[in-house]
Structure formats: structure tokens, C-alpha cells
Amino acid sequence: MGCCNPNYRKTVNEQEENVNFKGNDSLPFFIKITIIVIVITEVSLTVILV
């Protein structure tokens, strides 16, 4: 598809939206909670044992 094709800009914009949408990935909620619980547990054990 050449740069003179009328659909070129539309195609480029759609591809850009797809890339931007994929860039917004984040960790699922349950994984975040699990990490927080592990960190709190480690900090608590460190404080209790030291």
C-alpha cells in the first residue's frame, strides 16, 4: 500500500491505536494483592526476628 492510497492514513491510525492499547497492560488484581501480602509478610517476619 503506497503513501498515496486514500486508506493509508486510516490504516496507520488503526495500527497506532492497537499498539497504544497493547501498551496499557498491567498486572491482574489478584497478582497485585499476592505481591502485597508477600511483602507485608516478609517485612513482619524481619521485624519480629530481628
**45 CB-side CA count, 13 A:** 6
Instruction: Give residue 45's pLDDT.
Output: 92
Instruction: Give residue 1's pLDDT.
Output: 52
Identity (one letter) of the amino acid at 46? T
| CA-only gyration radius of the chain, Å | 23
CA quadruple 20, 33, 38, 44: dihedral sign: positive
**Does the pTM exceed 0.75?**
no
Q: Which three cell numbers stand for residue 10?
A: 486510516
Distance CA 36, CA 40 (A): 6
Q: Which three cell numbers stand for residue 43?
A: 517485612
pLDDT in tens, 1-50: 556 777 888 888 888 887 776 665 577 888 889 999 999 999 999 998 87
